[in-house]
Structure 1
């Protein structure tokens, strides 16, 4: 018995010695896992998280209590309805950081899109570049919206079209200069940027377009060949347009940037310049770029904007026709989406919503 007991004692005495290397290995692996988790917590990843942002009523006021849309007192018709532009919250990109934990949280939260950073921001763009571009797009969006609304009211809004940029290697290089005022194309006066672009389409590829321009106080004649890019004819210049607005209107959208609020700005301006309530008390939100000719263009983040609109209490949503494929199957309960292609159509749709006769309006389904 003692021999057996002694043998057992020796076995027990050696056991801790055999397990010691295994314990150190487990501790080492645990340390590596902790280090990996720590790295994941701070390692930036090339993705952007897009989520629902706030909806802002164009007929409402800013944070300091001033009207978001300001018009002269003698032209103003205050409105109490809701015509909201919608936004997307963006995390990541230039100046921001997205980690694996952020991506996991976005996936779990739902109503968020995770997209590669390069699909949202051009490579090499800085945070300051993003701010400047967003501010410029917002300013242009507001100007176009004001022009479209005033023209819809029958007002004449003259345009001055000048050359804003001449890219190197373009057909116009060496022929047109930045600052040239475009006076005539052929024998037709240039009345606006839309008219000019349309007129250029009547020329064949390689054919020279005769242009009369104002330069240094004198009129000059130039001839620029037409080039076809992506199926569209152009002479290779960037245009700069200045409007002479008959009624001064200003829009204060705060720190929101980008061009996607154009449609709702135009409807808001129209409502403020006309008597009565355009919305009829309905809560309407929407999105879409606005071209000077009244065309509504598609935008990004439509699914997140739908969620943001419904969270803000909207019952109706005006969506660009070009976004319909992204809308179908992603409409929150209680929200009715109306497909729009132009300002005039959107205006009629809102009037029908206000009148309670909107059952036959076009949708994205």
Structure 2
């Protein structure tokens, strides 16, 4: 065989071997790409995203789109070819697998966590919207979760309302941990609670729950390597009662980042006129009960997804602004917001055409 032919054959075989290796060898990376966007003022899968009953609502026009990021699953193993393609693709992002799924988190665990965060974001969005409208919302501290095998297992239950710890009234979830950690491990702590079943019955009958129980729990030592605290093995949260029904119908979405856009959608439907003036506005951001907007992940993917859907303006959490501004999609204006009031002010400028006054994102 001529040397030139042999060289070409060897090179071809080596190239085939490298391509095969690229396809077959997994690498520890995952990929993010723009996901669907949904208008919180419109319908999804044939039904309104926001369904409000028991209170007068008003027609809303335009778009207030929540945005999402599509990610590869925890079980998916990317190969070298896919990783290189993702790095080269402008609208995608390849990141270390552990960034999205730390500590060996499974697909099921990740899905459950995202579902819980999404559910919580709906509750905080309702509270933030109603507070912005000066509509009273009743709130109380509850047991959110009980750790299996902890001192609290079988003693406290998710949904129990925590009224006091050691006789001291509880007003915020943080109060619970503060009062428990005043003890040394092995000491008793007394929880005064309204059992979850009693609270549920009271809400159903539209009355205030009055039956309380005192439950004594012996604290254990935390597993923290740097600090040995007294714990009982619960996490505390907040529950609310709303003066009318607000349902958010949106399946197959997870995480907390739609909170701001849900809150704005609820606000729009409960007030005359249109927040957007018929304009196409999208956005993202977590939101707390007081209307503070928090940062999210995958901001570049969300701005691309919004632009591709037709958005002209994107409400951006202040802490994400600099990152988002580094690669702003053409035709999209990034508007910086810290609170729901900032977002409402920006929407007022957008619908009135005073876009020169908008607080836009810049690279720091």
Would you call these one fold, judging by a TM-score over 0.5? yes
- Alignment partner, residue 124 of structure 1: 104
Report if the CA contact (8 A) 1:93-1:121 is conserved: no
- Name the SS for the 1:119 alignment partner: helix
CA distance in 2, matches of 1:234, 1:264: 39
CA distance in 1, matches of 2:110, 2:52: 30
- Count of residue pairs brought into register by the alignment: 339
CA distance in 1, matches of 2:144, 2:313: 39
Q: CA deviation at 1:67?
A: 1.1
Residue 160 (structure 2) pairs with residue 178 (structure 1): no
- Alignment partner, residue 208 of structure 2: none
Superposition TM-score, scaled by structure 1 size: 0.78
1:198-347 equivalences under 5 Å are 212-214=192-194, 218-220=212-214, 237-347=234-344
- Alignment partner, residue 59 of structure 2: 78
CA distance in 2, matches of 1:354, 1:259: 27
Superposition TM-score, scaled by structure 2 size: 0.79
Gaps of 5+ in 2: 198-210
1:40-74 C-alpha deviation (Å, 9 max, x unpaired): 1233321111122232211111132x111111275
Q: Cα–Cα, structure 1 residues 304 and 32, in superposed 2: closer, same or farther, change >3 Å?
A: same
CA distance in 2, matches of 1:31, 1:210: 74
Q: CA deviation at 1:98?
A: 2.0
Moved more, 157-166 or 146-155: 157-166
Q: Cα–Cα, structure 1 residues 175 and 340, in superposed 2: closer, same or farther, change >3 Å?
A: farther
Q: Cα–Cα, structure 1 residues 199 and 168, in superposed 2: closer, same or farther, change >3 Å?
A: closer
Residue 25 (structure 2) pairs with residue 48 (structure 1): no
- Alignment partner, residue 203 of structure 2: none
Instruction: Find the partner of 1:135 among 115, 124, 143.
Output: 115
Report if the CA contact (8 A) 1:283-1:316 is conserved: yes
Q: Cα–Cα, structure 1 residues 256 and 167, in superposed 2: closer, same or farther, change >3 Å?
A: closer
Instruction: Find the partner of 1:115 among 89, 95, 113.
Output: 95
Report if the CA contact (8 A) 1:82-1:283 is conserved: yes
CA distance in 1, matches of 2:111, 2:90: 27
CA distance in 2, matches of 1:63, 1:93: 24
Greater C-alpha Rg:
1
CA distance in 1, matches of 2:103, 2:305: 29
CA distance in 1, matches of 2:131, 2:174: 19
CA distance in 1, matches of 2:52, 2:239: 19
Q: CA deviation at 1:84?
A: 0.6
Residue 42 (structure 2) pairs with residue 60 (structure 1): yes
Q: Cα–Cα, structure 1 residues 325 and 201, in superposed 2: closer, same or farther, change >3 Å?
A: farther
- Alignment partner, residue 35 of structure 1: 17
1:180-238 C-alpha deviation (Å, 9 max, x unpaired): 421136877545xxx3437977999779998643469543276989x9x99xx997741
Report if the CA contact (8 A) 1:214-1:220 is conserved: no
CA distance in 1, matches of 2:54, 2:62: 19
Q: CA deviation at 1:338?
A: 1.5
